[in-house]
Chain A
């Protein structure tokens, strides 16, 4: 704020909100396009979709924090003390997604174990598949 006049910061805020609005529309259109809602037969792989969406959301977060919350005009020490700790989340994301994948593998293993049992036994009402899927959910 300190370096901008009132008129300048006023027009700047307007520019930023327009950019944020356009980015939101672009995100939604890209989500609908990538999942095949807009044009028949066109779909993007899930990983591409996720990466583009995350990149756009981070860009929006940058605009909100740096422009709207005036982080841009704070002293470097404040910026670092607030933003650097969030880097810990990178490890949290990596570790927990690794863990989640591990759980998925265990679940699949359990389900496959019961696939070896023939269907006649299930029909007789031994029925532990139902119970297990209940706990698995």
Chain B
């Protein structure tokens, strides 16, 4: 007797929750969760836009700025002078994980549990791979090139000149350079080696100067903006894992709503990819 009562109460509850919505058709024919995800993403887009606009504003306010093709030119395996190669690989990893996410959502729509789990695992692998690449890029910039949020050893010359000393890497004493040419100040031990040079031409012709550090805003902006994006990827991966486990456990089978949870995390994941399109544009391409 008691069992049947519980059962019927459960049933009633189920019907009630379906009948909770009394406002006629749903706003925008989308569920509450999906709609709110869209508005969250809109607000997040404004946050990222604010950061990227700050980057652009500071960049145009300086008469010298590090050239991205020079700064981001290392590749795993000891390769140098490979402008944009590594970051293109990162972009492809993220794009690929976006595709696997689409496939997971599609499998969810036809209630195919195994398909959802399979494609979500691939998405998680892609997200983790992207984070690994970012960790490598950061460790190169911080450990090898000694860029930090307060010191930026990357800059570009504002006048032509001739080096008076070499740096033991690419530059030898007597090498000449043009205005706009990039340089990296090396650090040996605890000491920075700002190379001395004589200016060729212009109002300061013949003057002896030394390499100056680049705009410090560059390091802070780079680590903060790519770090904020990386944090989004990290939280995305965590949520993907949770939802993947839930899907594998059969939780969403009972809900019979076409794996809507997978669709919502899918929206978030595509947004992370979308933001990367613009981070890639602003930091690396322009």
Contact = CB atoms under 8 A, between A and B. Distances in A.
Q: Do A and B bind each other?
A: yes
Given A68-B102, A69-B266, A82-B39, 12 more contacts: A1-B109, A13-B102, A17-B95, A21-B92, A53-B286, A74-B30, A78-B28, A78-B38, A93-B56, A96-B54, A137-B216, A137-B217
Contacts of A99: 57
A59 to B, nearest CB: 10
B277 A60 contact: yes
Interface stretch (B83-91, B169-177, B190-198, B248-256): B83-91
A116 to B, nearest CB: 11
Contacts of B95: 17, 20-21, 24
23 contacts: A1-B109, A17-B98, A31-B69, A37-B83, A53-B286, A57-B277, A57-B280, A64-B98, A64-B274, A68-B102, A69-B266, A69-B270, A77-B28, A81-B39, A82-B41, A92-B53, A97-B57, A100-B58, A100-B60, A101-B60, A103-B57, A104-B63, A137-B216
B277 A50 contact: no
A104 B216 contact: no
Contacts of A97: 56-57, 60
B110 interface: yes
Given A17-B98, A133-B212, A64 B281 contact: no
A27 B84 CA distance: 11
Interface in B57-85: 57-63, 69, 83-84
Contacts of B149: none
B207 A61 contact: no
Contact of A35 (B42, B69, B203): B69
A6 B46 contact: no
Given A92-B49, A104-B62, A24 B30 contact: no
A115 B203 contact: yes
* Interface secondary structure of B, over-half rule: helix
A77 B110 CA distance: 27
B103 A89 contact: no
A85 B42 CA distance: 8
B63 to A, nearest CB: 7
Interface size class of B (residues with CB under 8 A): 35 or more
Contacts, number: 138
B109 A53 contact: no
Contacts of A20: 95
B103 A13 contact: yes
Interface size class of A (residues with CB under 8 A): 35 or more
Nearest to A79: B28
Contacts of B274: 61, 64-65
Nearest to B110: A6
Nearest to B57: A100
A105 to B, nearest CB: 9
Contact of B281 (A57, A65, A68, A85): A57
B241 interface: no
A78 B92 contact: no
A96 B53 contact: yes
Nearest to A9: B106
Nearest to A4: B106
Q: 3 tightest CB-CB pairs across the interface, nearest first?
A: A103-B61, A100-B57, A78-B28
Contacts of B278: 57, 61
A27 B187 CA distance: 34
